[in-house]
Amino acid sequence: MIEKKITTTFYQTDFSSLNSEEKDLVNRAKNSLEAAYAPYSGFLVGATVLLENGEIISGNNQENVAYPSGLCAERVAIFYAGAKFPNVKIKTIAITAVSKKFEIKDVISPCGACRQAIAEYEVKQENNIRILLHHPDDSILIVNSVSDLLPFMFKSKGLKNY
């Protein structure tokens, strides 16, 4: 048996150190919190997607009384991007959150299902997606690819073109 390791690279920074394009994405994600529909969790999430053609799309979490029927902010945003601009690559996603119920200790990090959904687009477009994770205290964590958040991701090789 051989032991092997996968390393994850991430960057810790803060809002003031971002370039203006990335500051704009984080600000838009923050603004989109207003339209989050989270009456059950009180946890509002905003996600903003920058596409290669310069288009910017924001989404937020949309809950449902039948809990699993709701959808996370990240998937609302990337599915809308995929629906509106199916052949345009996603460059960056900025994500932020606020809670009405508790203090958020760490930056919000996409749930497993959202990581898998982002991974699908990364594989499809054959280009990495940069992910900015913003904390309400303005600290930021950055990964340059969803594979840094989801090692051993399930890929569609073999399922496509059946």
Which sequence positions are flagged as catalytic? 74
Name the strand (E) or helix (H) holding 25.
Answer: helix 20-32
If one asks whether residue 73 binds ligand THU (CB under 6 A), the answer comes out as yes
Shortest approach of ligand THU to residue 151 CB, angstroms? Answer: 18
* Strand bridging mode 43-51 / 90-99: antiparallel
Residues between 105 and 124 with contacts to ligand THU, criterion CB under 6 A: 110-111, 114
Residue 84 CB-half CA count within 13 A: 15
If one asks whether residue 45 binds ligand THU (CB under 6 A), the answer comes out as yes
Which three-class secondary structure state does DSSP give residue 17?
helix
Report the amino acid identity of residue 153: M
If one asks whether residue 80 binds ligand THU (CB under 6 A), the answer comes out as no
Binder of ligand THU out of 33, 49, 72, 133 (CB under 6 A): 72
Residues lying near ligand THU in the complex (CB under 6 A) are found at: 38, 41, 43, 45, 61, 63, 70, 72-74, 110-111, 114
